[in-house]
Structure 1
């Protein structure tokens, strides 16, 4: 009941963004960027993350970071995190300056709900080489949630971090912060993880996901979140619950892409070719599926019909573009 209430409150206050079949969005969460020390779990995937956001920038995506971008419960001084991962924040600034970076806060970066904290750490940054302050993410307003609404069909995709209703990470977050900052942070250096976290506690993670599903069925809205670190893409008529996964898997990061009216789950990982050269490769794990396939407001037959039309139209458009390129050559 409490999860339903918290999700509904977030939905009612969410900012609405409109999309259509020409929009490009990518959703990533749970990077948990730290201060570059041994306990910083983001370090191992920093290059993967940097490559991914550069590719999304070059291909005109809007990047929605769905919470826990920074590990502020363990490292409360955001300046230390920005200095440790300066190249990452340069990439984020490029996206933000073009209006293509939207920030949602989660339980590990809950400080972003405080305007004074945002003004202190995000509005300006310090260049250690020139010893000058410069505008960074000036005017940014991190959000608890957003609703993506299709311009023509009014179909909605509700996006938030997903900690809402998870008591230790929601209403009792302060006590969780104290335990992380003064206890679990040091055990991380030896590979020991907090057993109360949904990341490692399977029964808790499944309970949270069941609560998500109940909300989806009750309110008939697709939901996309992070928090559990378990990527999810619905299949076989499952409820439309999507999860971005996280940025701290052992050798990969995952994301959800919404482009050309199609949604898919992707993974960025390191690959070694036959010559022993290391590459970063993006691979599709699930999808692409027409976003209409997950509009549970409509009867199943209508959803299937609209999805079939979308696949046919997308295939025809791609063939037309390919033929046009051949003519140019």
Structure 2
């Protein structure tokens, strides 16, 4: 546990020091989603059931001037070696994401399941453009895209910082040993996944592993006095009063719908989009605020005493 804690804190510090800096103010608007795990629309593709909810939500945020921040594991590149199959299966999603990209409102981070995006050659080959076989021409997708391991959101006037990462940093099986874990997923767990089994190396349904990750990240927050927004565990989290500012945006593959973190008007909140019925029984996609909103400045630890020894 001590070695894992040191590794995680070291990896988070490395990510922080090498992060892209994104300046924001009270007029900035961001929507954070992660863990879409977009696949090829076969039974193992958990995103397929929520694709329409995701599209509806992203259309809303696009119309309202938000920047889309994808906090890793957007594409399920462990299970699928050919990105082309994912792009074709979710063509409408990439068409909408391209609108964000073309408007300079698209920030992509990579996680463990799409860690291939840290390699420029892979990104250039798969994400810059694609060949349209029907029209027999090359189409631009995200030309010049640079995915990041981490982004530091820095308030222009107060200097407050928010570290955004996927959340796998320091999770040994999903960080240092990701090659081995990917092979087991692609050639073994992928098929069991389609009938409901979960890889034991995944934190998704392992409460002990989730809590350990959260405690370790909490310790880093306490030492560095910097709030974190991440994903990875699929467990949405918005800190209560007197808790350290660890935020988790949940995932886009839960049966209940998709969760995310919104930043708007200098405030932060945890939201969920899901399908609900009205009084007549008609189905509608609705947005619900789960926690918040709270002013971001309330989570600035630089001038506050931290009296808790552990996060949880």
Q: Which residue of 2 aligns with 1:213?
A: 218
1:230 corresponds to 2:235: yes
Q: Which residue of 1 aligns with 2:95?
A: 90
- CA offsets per residue over residues 196-221 of structure 1, 9 Å max, x none? 21111111111111000000000000
Q: For 1:271 and 1:42, locate their aligned partners in 2 and report how far apart those are by CA, in whole Å.
A: 18
Q: For 2:26 and 2:147, locate their aligned partners in 1 and report how far apart those are by CA, in whole Å.
A: 26
Deviation for aligned residue 1:38: 1.1
Q: Which residue of 1 aligns with 2:117?
A: 112
- CA offsets per residue over residues 43-88 of structure 1, 9 Å max, x none? 1100011111111111000001000000100002111000000000
Deviation for aligned residue 1:191: 1.0
The answer to whether the 8 A contact 1:155-1:295 is kept is: yes
Aligned length: 301
- More divergent stretch after superposition (192-201 vs 43-52): 192-201
The answer to whether the 8 A contact 1:194-1:200 is kept is: no
CA change 1:134–1:213 in 2 (3 A) is same
Q: 1:273 aligns with which of 264, 275, 278?
A: 278
1:23 corresponds to 2:28: yes
- CA offsets per residue over residues 241-273 of structure 1, 9 Å max, x none? 000000000031000000000100000000111
1:139 corresponds to 2:180: no
Q: Which residue of 2 aligns with 1:248?
A: 253
Q: Which residue of 1 aligns with 2:204?
A: 199
Alignment TM-score, normalising by the size of structure 2:
0.95
Q: Which residue of 2 aligns with 1:71?
A: 76
- Which one has the bigger helix percentage? 1
Q: For 1:271 and 1:129, locate their aligned partners in 2 and report how far apart those are by CA, in whole Å.
A: 38
Deviation for aligned residue 1:276: 1.8
Q: For 1:260 and 1:126, locate their aligned partners in 2 and report how far apart those are by CA, in whole Å.
A: 41
Q: Which residue of 2 aligns with 1:296?
A: 301
Alignment TM-score, normalising by the size of structure 1:
0.90
- CA offsets per residue over residues 79-114 of structure 1, 9 Å max, x none? 100000000000100000000000000000000011
SS of residue in 2 equivalent to 1:42: helix
**4+ long deviations beyond 4 Å:** none
- More divergent stretch after superposition (189-198 vs 239-248): 189-198
Q: Which residue of 2 aligns with 1:323?
A: none
SS of residue in 2 equivalent to 1:190: coil
Q: For 1:155 and 1:259, locate their aligned partners in 2 and report how far apart those are by CA, in whole Å.
A: 16
Q: Which runs of 5+ in 1 are unaligned?
A: 301-329
Q: 2:165 aligns with which of 157, 160, 175?
A: 160
The answer to whether the 8 A contact 1:246-1:253 is kept is: yes
Task: State the superposition RMSD in angstroms.
Answer: 1.1
Q: Which runs of 5+ in 2 are unaligned?
A: 1-5, 306-312
